[in-house]
Structure 1
Amino acid sequence: MDIKQLKFLIALDQTRHFGQAAALCHITQPTLSMRLRNLEDELNLVLVTRGQRFEGFTEAGERILGWARTLLAAYDGLQAEAASCRGQIVGSLRVGMVPLSSFNPMQFLQPLAQRYPELQFQLSSLSSEQVTDGLSRNQLDLGICYLDQINTAYFDVIELGSTSMGLLYDTRHFEFEQPELSWEALGELPLGLLSQGMHYRQSVDLSFRSRGLNPLTVLESDSTYQLIQAVCAGMCCAIMPLQYGLEELSEHIRILPISSASVHAPIGLLLRRTEPRSALAEKCFAEVKAMLGEQG
């Protein structure tokens, strides 16, 4: 067994496709299949359900996959630790964050990239629960999520502030004269909203319900990009965070503040307290803390 076999297994889990997993690992599909069968032979287990195409992992495969993630995280941590001992910051920083908040992650990712050009980033859009779970399982290095249900006994936390909301619209399709909108004014507008179940969406729904309003929801999506596409097409407006950098995407995009509109729970940057945690994660967490301190 070697690290590459575990990487192949995880690539298959990510893509759910043998050919795509092989391409992700820069090898041929026959080589990928052979190496995975070698792993199965060594473990004396069937890990993958095969047909004409990938059909999923067996129960044993799911359990081995969990260990593979842990071992790879430890391996990456070892490499980052060795680099740190050499005075370098290299590797891939895995960051999970909630999809909508008033904190733009580029505020710290860009300075880190400029300061450490060999550093790479993996940014995933997740729910708060998925962020904390990924940190706990050592599948993420840092997390950005809402803090209302965070047990600080398990995480180091940097509070990033609360999330205020505004109405995102395209000036080619909508026009507003007032500098701020009320929730009542939004009641008759076609809206694109984040999918139900997400923390941000729950705050939006609560704001409407508490005022006895039923919004005209024409589109729901778990993708911020798709919501912005719909706004630019004139299909709808969208309730988005202020200070999110969205107005920079197009000369036609504007965002108006909504009165009394905010997510009550603050956003925070999280680092797990328990070992193993990589030197890379610790260093970047400390760097971000210093950056935010300087800005304050």
Structure 2
Amino acid sequence: MTALRSGLTGELRLGVVPGAATRVALMADALCAEHPLVRVRIESSLRSVEILDRIRRFELDAGVVYDDGLQTDGLELTRLYEERYVLVAGDGLLRDAHDPIDWSEALSLPMCLLHKGMRDRDRIDEAAAEHGLAVSPRLEADSVATLLALVGTGRWAAIVARTWFATAAPPAGTRTVELQAPTLGSPVALVRAAGDPASLLARALAQVVAPPDQP
């Protein structure tokens, strides 16, 4: 246990779903502040199931995933927060928009979204289907950073995780608006191997980032 508090060294291999990429920067910063000799390598364009598989194959020490319906046998989860999603678009596209904006109005905008099969995109498709709407983006990408760069041109709209703006403001000339019910939400958790041998680095990260009401 001493190693968890002082003198911990090595490289933490951390896999992250795209929507949590900016939030995980704050987690890594907290870990490095607590353990100055630790290095962190982040892969931030992975899917939740891929992260779980790579943890089981010892290719990753820990991951940040969407905890909704995953098979997590043999793994330990620390619930972090409930992700929420917002529409972000150029000011010109939202000049007459309501806040919150209804789904039909949002999807009528020139939309760019993540690829189908990525969890953030699946949640958007599911929410739209509840309104009897189909999602047909003109452009798809595997990176939220790419989507925000497009939105920054003023000609595109995107639906992204709110935590993308935890460390940076939306692109200049854009604004974010809430989406009308159903409110998009996904539980986000830190996952790591359970039992021994478990990565001391992953355990240290769990201790640093666990919410106050968790051990």
TM-score range, shorter chain: 0.7 to 0.9
Check if 1:213 corresponds to 2:154.
no
After superposition, give the CA deviation of every residue in 1:196-253 in whole Å (9 maximum; x if it has no partner). Answer: 1111111111122222223441110011111111111233100011233165254434
Moved over 3 A (4+): 150-153, 261-265
1:274–1:185 CA distance, 2 compared to 1 (3 A): same
> Which position in structure 1 is the counterpart of 2:54?
134
TM-score under structure 1 normalisation? 0.63
> Which position in structure 2 is the counterpart of 1:283?
204
Q: Secondary structure at the match of 1:139?
A: coil
Aligned-CA RMSD value: 2.8
1:262–1:162 CA distance, 2 compared to 1 (3 A): farther
Structure 1 or 2, whichever has the larger Rg, is 1
1:287–1:187 CA distance, 2 compared to 1 (3 A): closer
Check if 1:193 corresponds to 2:113.
yes
Which blocks of at least 5 consecutive residues in structure 2 are unaligned?
Answer: none
Alpha-carbon distance between aligned partners in 2 of 1:86 and 1:256, rounded to the nearest angstrom = 42
Task: Give the C-alpha shift of residue 191 in structure 1.
Answer: 0.5
The amino acid across from 1:118 in the alignment is: L
Task: Give the C-alpha shift of residue 276 in structure 1.
Answer: 3.3
| Aligned length in residues | 212
After superposition, give the CA deviation of every residue in 1:19-50 in whole Å (9 maximum; x if it has no partner). Answer: xxxxxxxxxxxxxxxxxxxxxxxxxxxxxxxx
Alpha-carbon distance between aligned partners in 1 of 2:93 and 2:99, rounded to the nearest angstrom = 18
Q: Secondary structure at the match of 1:92?
A: strand
Which blocks of at least 5 consecutive residues in structure 1 are unaligned?
Answer: 1-80
After TM superposition, the structure 1 = structure 2 runs for residues 108-123 of structure 1, keeping only pairs within 5 Å, are 108-123=27-42
Alpha-carbon distance between aligned partners in 2 of 1:102 and 1:123, rounded to the nearest angstrom = 9
Q: Secondary structure at the match of 1:190?
A: coil
Alpha-carbon distance between aligned partners in 2 of 1:106 and 1:262, rounded to the nearest angstrom = 26
After TM superposition, the structure 1 = structure 2 runs for residues 1-296 of structure 1, keeping only pairs within 5 Å, are 84=3, 87-101=6-20, 104-124=23-43, 125-171=45-91, 174-245=94-165, 248-263=169-184, 265-289=186-210, 292-293=211-212
Q: Which has the higher contact order (CA 8 A, sep 6+)?
A: 2
1:249–1:206 CA distance, 2 compared to 1 (3 A): closer
Task: Give the C-alpha shift of residue 259 in structure 1.
Answer: 1.5
